[in-house]
Homo-oligomer: A and B are copies of this chain.
Amino acid sequence: MPEKEKLYVGEQSLRFSQGVYITSAASVVGKKEGEGPLGTCFDMVCEDDKFGEDNWEQAESTLQKEALSLALGKAKLQPEDIRYLFAGDLLGQSIATSFGLIDFEIPLFGLYGACSTAGESMSLAAMCIGAGYAKTVAALTSSHFASAEKQFRFPLEYANQRPVSATWTVTGSGAFILSSRRSRLRITGITTGKIVDMGVKDSMNMGAAMAPAAANLIAQHLEDFKRAPEDYDRIITGDLGYVGQEILFDLLKKKKIDISNVHEDCGILIYDKEKQGTGSGGSGCGCSAVTLASHYLPMLEKGELKRILFIPTGALLSTVSFNEGQSVPGIAHGVVIEQEEC
């Protein structure tokens, strides 16, 4: 099978010679995200951040349920048409995912990549379709401001202050149906990230912790595919925020790579920094997922963009690792999405 050899690209990438397509995508967000610059783009904005549930974790599970249901509906598919789910969230033992996806009764690969999970889940889902292991699969992730604050920082009731470098966890879930059936959105390659630890120890500055992983991934991706930043209409990081973006540019300049003309960050796009008081920007698995689903994929479908590199970024910490004095390593996973001429 000499054809197989072509799949390897460089050190960390795969090129999908067989068609891997995004059939549909859906985004569900909370009230604050609905009031932000992308407010009109989301499929569903819920005024009640508890989504009718008793607690924040169940609310996050409901986010996932709604997002997947919407994506299935758009693709005119039933749960039984989906062979695998690739999903994860930020909570300890991924409970938003476990309890959110029970009712679909679809074989599940549970993932943890912190806020890079949107990239990880799409990468594995694309690998699955590209290999012919399934005709249709789904990738989804979520985060919720209140469940994340409770998990990583302080319960909301404490009303604690936060530094300007802190990001604001997005309440949202993005779901993607991937298939071998041709559509206008094609996944043509992936670059899978390594853990990068630059010794950042400030859990209130996750942009700084994740920027080195994003910089390494972008440099390796361009080398693997032998491309320049200009070969992309956008290079989109997940949730580096304002602080992380600056560090990213600096790190890449040292490698003689300038992405400033094509770079955007979902964490910067999703909120209005001045009006919404969101510090360095949005974060969380949901941040990049809902921004891709609601903002970038429609632009690709319309032909306003031809090729993007989507790079969700994750900070690999827990309160235990933080309290034990460990650093905050980062990871990033890249997915190339192109407009397919139909």
Contacts and interface: CB of A to CB of B under 8 A. Distances in A.
Interface of A: 1, 4-5, 7-8, 12, 14, 18, 54-55, 57-58, 83-84, 88, 90-95, 98-99, 101-102, 105-114, 120, 123-124, 127-128, 130-134, 150-151, 192-195, 197, 316-321, 324, 326, 329, 331
Contacts of A102: 195, 197, 329
Given A92-B93, A107-B192, A111-B111, 7 more contacts: A1-B132, A7-B132, A8-B83, A55-B324, A110-B113, A110-B120, A131-B132
Contacts of A316: 93-95, 98-99
Nearest to A326: B99
A331 B107 CA distance: 9
A130 B132 contact: no
Contact of A99 (B88, B114, B151, B321): B321
B107 A94 contact: no
What are the nearest 4 A-B pairs in CB distance?
A92-B92, A4-B132, A131-B131, A93-B318
A221 B324 CA distance: 43
Given A93-B317, A320-B92, A331-B108, A131 B134 contact: no
